[in-house]
Structure 1
């Protein structure tokens, strides 16, 4: 349990970095940020794949197809929606909507995976879900109040960002559930190998996306300076950093956590990503969070700690008891 929580914590710290890139490169199209990130992830995965080639050869065609699906939805589509949302609505709103993932995933996992992982009693799980939801609400209320005070805010653009963030939530509700399914069905396979396989599967998708963006920009007479944009050094450095730390290392740590914890609990630990992203956002802004924001963060942490005290009850045992 402790090792699983620590792996999830490191994954959250790594994944929080991806919320910074769209704010640091606001003039870059979200699609370019998405394919750039996963081109870096794929290129990083190639030498790792060479060292892990014996284990990768053991993956079947259906395994590679699953890795391709996870790469397309959990990587490219998710980050396309998230980066677009951040560029339209700013960092905090998408961060907090993504912060609902612990609640959404816990509910979905408890509904679909109770036979495999045991059922987390709803009444015992409810306090942690409420604490997390209230904490998210506290932080979000601060950001919405700031938006109302901004006379130059574009409400339509803001709402569009909210819709895109909800699509990102949908992508990342699907991803950890399907990813955990594969890891639980293949307990003898290394989480490191599976992380590398997803990186290898992502590379051709990202490469095709990059080429299509370049061609579309050239044929359409776009003014954006393809292929690396107006800040090539910053773009390359950021893509390499999040490709290594967020995409590969984050996925590896998440896979390790997924093998050690019930899906409903590991889903709630995505709250670490929200806390990390908020912390990085305030550092980037150069301002301290308000007391209500700090209260929300405390409630999020309390909700996670409460959830870790809840143990799943085997479904078979419940049936015999009846």
Structure 2
């Protein structure tokens, strides 16, 4: 469980980068950022695929179908929706909605666990979820103060609706990804990360080309394919492709193999914390007292959740020995 915690922490630190990328490249459409990131992911995955080719070639048709679905929903759709929502409604509102992921995923995975042994009584799970939810609401209330008011009400509303699409996409992804890995324990986390990168590559390439055709037909002013700042765009897309996609997915796969899905869902809070850290660094500001209090609540909630699942695991092991 401790190794799983460290892997989830590492994944969260890497995934937090995706929240500042749309702000760093605010003159790029959200779809281009999504397709660009996952083109980087797919191209980078070609390298480990060559060195791990025996395991890659051993993947079954069912594995590739699962990788394709996970890539489409959890990669392309999720990040396109997230980046678009951030650009429409600024970072705080979409971050507030996406920030509920730890609670939403934990509830759904505990309500319908992949295996009965992963379920925990709601009365035991509720305290950690309530503490995490309180921390998320506190930090998001503080972040809402950074809304600049430069966008219209319609823009904020549309951004929030699109953020809900991202929320649904990434509620589905970790649950289904964990179930596939636990049904196939022979899968190495790095191999599965590489497979998802390879499955993402044709989707991202098709989407990127499709956007270029749409841009030409509509006569929009985006300078396709690399936009107004080619070098920062390429550099950031490759950075996200390697760090947030390949390496982050590999670490999350390791966590998914070692932790109950409900607990892993709570640990996505590390993504929220790292996104906050990077956002404050980008602004050149220090977190206020409300943010510090929310961070403390989030940490307490995670520790309480880990204790709850550890006690459940110990109880199950004791009952198995007694039986």
> In the alignment, is the contact (CA less than 8 A) between 2:35 and 2:204 conserved in 1?
yes
Q: CA deviation at 1:159?
A: 2.0
Matched with 1:111 is 111
Q: 1:121 Cα shift?
A: 1.9
Query: How far did residue 114 of structure 1 move?
Result: 6.6
Aligned residue pairs total: 317
Deviations 1:144-172 (A, max 9, x none): 3444xx55442221122111111111000
Alignment equivalent of 2:161, drawn from 163, 168, 179: 163
Counterpart check, 1:134 vs 2:129 = no
Residue by residue over 1:257-310, the C-alpha shift from the partner in whole angstroms, topping out at 9 and shown as x without a partner, is 000001110111000000000110111011122211211111111111110001
> How many Å separate the matches in 2 of 1:297 and 1:186?
36
TM-score (ref. length: structure 1): 0.94
**Alpha-carbon distance in structure 2 between the residues aligned to 1:129 and 1:17:** 25
Counterpart of 2:277 in structure 1 is: 279
SS in 2 for 1:144: helix
- For 2:290 and 2:159, how far apart are their aligned partners in 1? 24
* 1:150-205 Cα deviation digits (max 9, x unpaired): 55442221122111111111000100011001100011111110000000000000
Q: How do residues 202-221 of structure 1 correspond to structure 2 at under 5 angstroms?
A: 202-221=200-219
- The Cα shift of 1:96 comes to 2.5
Look up the match of 1:14. 14
What SS is found at the alignment partner of 2:224?
coil
Q: How far apart are the structure 1 equivalents of 2:184 and 2:307?
A: 27
Cα distance change of structure 1 residues 151 and 50 upon mapping to structure 2, 3 Å threshold: closer
Residues 207 and 144 of structure 1: CA distance in aligned 2, closer, same or farther (over 3 Å):
same
* Structure 1 portions without partners, runs of 5+: none
Question: 1:115-194 residue pairs with structure 2 within 5 A?
Answer: 115-147=115-147, 150=148, 152-194=150-192
RMSD: 1.8
